[in-house]
């Protein structure tokens, strides 16, 4: 298990991909693979995008990933109104619904230093288990995971 990692970026959607990749790499180093790894990447991307779209250009977005009690915990802190479950815009609602559907748990709270935070948690495989079993109901036909093939790096 690795120690927690932290990334701080400005509120810019152009920074979402690099933080998403960094969080996914951290998750993979801690045992996430296959569908679980894709779920982490998509959920984190949705939350980061909401934070970036609804924060001001001078606002920082802080993302922290760590393993706690067998779960990957990702916390995104930002000043934007997009970091809430009840924002009244369709894009924010959809992004948070996607994140909530993919994570085991999602929590919204005021951040200690102002703004808001979203906490996502994902169960990690136990022991030496590799990729979690692929749930065919969650994989589109024709997607490499539909046949159980490993995802490309």
Residue 28 in contact with residue 5, Cβ under 8 Å? Answer: no
Q: How many domains does the chain have?
A: 1
pLDDT in tens, 28-46: 999 999 999 999 999 999 9
147 domain-assigned? no
88 domain-assigned? yes
150 domain-assigned? no
Range of the domain at 98: 5-126
92 domain-assigned? yes
DSSP H helix total and E strand total for the chain:
3, 5
The 105-110 sheet, strands edge to edge: 5-10, 60-68, 71-78, 116-123, 105-110
131 domain-assigned? no
Residue 15 in contact with residue 51, Cβ under 8 Å? Answer: no
Residue 63 in contact with residue 19, Cβ under 8 Å? Answer: yes
Q: What pLDDT is attached to residue 55?
A: 80
Q: What is the CATH number of the domain that holds 93?
A: 3.30.565.10
Mean pLDDT for the stretch of residues 9-35: 95
Phi-psi region of 34 (alpha: psi -120 to 50; beta: other; left: phi over 0): left
Please list, in sequence order, all residues whose beta carbon lies within 8 angstroms of the beta carbon of residue 111, skipping any fewer than 6 positions away: 77, 78, 117
Mean pLDDT for the stretch of residues 57-67: 92
pLDDT in tens, 64-113: 999 999 999 999 998 765 555 555 555 557 888 899 999 999 998 888 77
Structure tokens at 89: 């815009």
146 domain-assigned? no
pTM for the whole thing?
0.76
């Amino acid at each position: 298990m690795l120690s927690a990692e932290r990334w701080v970026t400005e509120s810019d959607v152009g920074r979402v991909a690099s933080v998403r990749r960094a969080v996914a790499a951290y998750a993979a180093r801690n045992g996430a693979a296959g569908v679980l790894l894709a779920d982490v990447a998509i959920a984190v991307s949705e939350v980061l995008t909401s934070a970036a779209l609804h924060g001001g250009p001078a606002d920082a977005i802080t993302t922290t990933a760590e393993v706690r009690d067998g779960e990957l915990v990702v916390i995104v802190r930002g000043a934007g109104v997009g970091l809430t479950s009840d924002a009244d815009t369709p894009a924010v609602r959809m992004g948070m619904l996607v994140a909530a559907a993919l994570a085991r748990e999602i929590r919204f709270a005021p951040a200690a230093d102002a703004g808001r935070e979203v906490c996502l948690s994902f169960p990690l495989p136990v022991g030496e288990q590799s990729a979690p079993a692929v749930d065919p109901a969650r994989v589109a036909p024709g997607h490499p995971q539909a046949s159980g093939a490993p995802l490309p790096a």
